[in-house]
Amino acid sequence: MKQTAAIIGSGMAGMAAAIRLAVQGYAVTVFEANSHPGGKVTELHAKGYRFDAGPSLFTLPQLVDELFTLAGKNPRQYFNYTQLPVITKYFYPDGTVINAYKEPNDFAQEIQRQTGEPAENVMRFLAKSKELYDLTAHIFLFASLHQWNTYLNIKALKTSLQLYKLDAFRNVDKANRGWFNDVRVVQLFNRYATYNGSDPYQAPATLNIIPHLEHNIGAYLAEGGMHSVTKALYQLAQEVGVKFEFGAAVSIIVVEGKRAVGVELNYEVRGTKDDCIEGVNEKNNFRSGYDIMISNMDVVNTYRKLLPDLKEPTRITHQPRSSSAMIFYWGIKKQFEQLDVHNILFAKDYPGEFKALFTEGTVYHDPTTYIYISSKENPADAPEGCENWFVMVNAPNNTGQDWEALRQTTRQNILAKLKAMLGEDIEPLIETEDLLDPVLIEQRTSSYQGSLYGSSSNNMFAAFLRHANYSSQLNNLYFCGGSAHPGGGIPLCLLSGRIVADLIKKRHK
């Protein structure tokens, strides 16, 4: 008889863990409160426009591919992706425009042309970023930080002898000012701290590992948008035998002794019993008998909502949260040749923006604005002659701010910024509009306070203060997703699913 596993949440990490466990021979059931899989990696449709609702930049696609090869499938029969010739186009208030070409040397030469910053400085920085990755990835990304065997090997020993190279005692900004002379280039590379919701003026310079993923390894666009990754993984999961119950919000993890043995479900939250597979206990919606339990739900809400009688690890759950986002989905009745797939319109005062986010808890009045236009490469995502704009600014996590006022003010500030930089009033061109903010993120994905990446990385010990991928109190409970190790974003969530599956394979033979 097969061993059984229950997974709470069908985000990237939950689906990755489900696929891996099914391949290992487990009978896996995924409980999802929403009516669809994917967590934050979903899509919107309106008036002929299609929008990726969440993550938009695709790095380390091999982590998706390996799930298919693990199951004996050809990933190219499920989804495809292409490398972008220009990763991001950067616009500065002084009129400078920098194209981040996919080839590192071309990118370095472009920076030299536009700013005067020597190209060799950029190449040396990217080489340092690769060195950081090579020194740390096998410990901080691909393995559990909370297992002794992670540190008892030759690779870990070599890293321990080179700890001084990790640059953990300076913040990102200070380190980048040491690498570059031009403040625009410093600002460009400071931005990478936001990839895990952190502040470059506080976060350790070890985070300079992030540019390596984008510039040395590569950035890609999934054909059909990022949601195509969700659809592909969902199809694969079903093919390997994973069962999904949608509209099935877990209200309690049932504990007996030192084991999580079942779940109680609430079908009144985001769905109905009709959305779910057969086998519902009509009396109390109780499922039991699981050998393994995995939470892909935010760690804080897992403890406070699903495990109220279990001791909360407050040292972990009280860590400062990452930033969030405010996103406007605009169908634009025009095409803008000066924009690319990924665009950044920088704030003039970058330190001021992060002070607003992390000290004042508000959206800055001149926010750095990211515009993602998938229709540049996927024309079917917008009507002919139009573009689908995913317009995002950094936002604080939700601590009770007046979000209605912030939505209105931020919208007007973004429109003013766009008019100044593009030379045209955008508002009359908006044919359809939708919104996502920290409040809605929290409601739709159970991310505590609407933070995108769990806890922030604004101190040098942050990596060790993320929750482990397993429970220290229940011997069959595991954690994956953006609030657990190794962190948020599609690649790290996929890695957390891998770490959990590997731990289960070793511990529950």
pLDDT in tens, 34-47: 999 999 999 999 99
pLDDT tens-digit series, residues 439-485: 999 999 999 999 999 998 888 777 677 899 999 999 999 999 999 99
Average pLDDT over residues 69-81: 97
Calculate mean pLDDT across residues 222-242.
Answer: 96
Q: Please, which pLDDT band fits residue 274 given cuts at 50, 70 and 90?
A: very low
What pLDDT is attached to residue 151?
A: 58
Going by C-alpha positions, the residue among 211, 46, 238, 31 that lies closest to residue 132 is: 211
Mean pLDDT along residues 304-312: 95
Q: Which of 100-114, 265-279, 285-299, 478-492 is the least confident region? A: 265-279
How many Cα neighbours within 13 Å face the side chain of 428?
3
Question: Three-class SS of residue 64?
Answer: helix
The pLDDT tens digits for 182-210 are 999 999 999 999 999 999 999 999 999 99
Q: Whole-angstrom Cα distance, residue 283 to residue 286?
A: 8
* Mean pLDDT value of segment 91-97: 97
Angle at 195 between CA 98 and CA 498, to 5 degrees: 130
Q: Is the pLDDT of residue 278 over 50?
A: no
- Domains of the chain by start residue, with CATH: 4-37+227-316+455-507 (3.50.50.60), 105-211 (no CATH)
Instruction: Return the pLDDT at 164.
Output: 63
- Asked if pLDDT for residue 276 goes beyond 50, the answer is no
Q: Provide the terminal-to-terminal Cα distance of the chain, rounded to the nearest Å.
A: 14
Whether the predicted pLDDT of 87 surpasses 50: yes
Span 128-142, mean pLDDT? 85
At residue 116, the pLDDT reads 98
Query: Which DSSP string do the residues of 372-423 spell out, in sequence order?
Result: E-GGGT-GGGS-TT-EEEEEEEEE---SS--HHHHHHHHHHHHHHHHHHHHS
Q: Which residue has better confidence, 381 or 151?
A: 381
Q: Is the peptide bond before 486 cis (omega within 30 degrees of 0)?
A: yes
pLDDT tens digits for 421-436? 999 999 999 999 999 9
User: Which sign, positive or negative, has the C-alpha torsion 423, 420, 43, 90?
Assistant: positive
CA-to-CA distance for 399 and 410, rounded, in angstroms?
Answer: 18
- Whether the per-residue pLDDT at 232 is higher than 90: the answer is yes
* Residue pLDDT, tens place only, 281-306: 444 588 889 999 999 999 999 999 99
pLDDT for residue 157:
65
Q: What pLDDT, on the 0 to 100 scale, is given for residue 62? A: 96
Q: What percent of the chain has pLDDT over 70?
A: 93
- Decide which of 249 and 157 is more confident: 249
pLDDT tens-digit series, residues 156-178 = 667 666 766 778 899 999 999 99
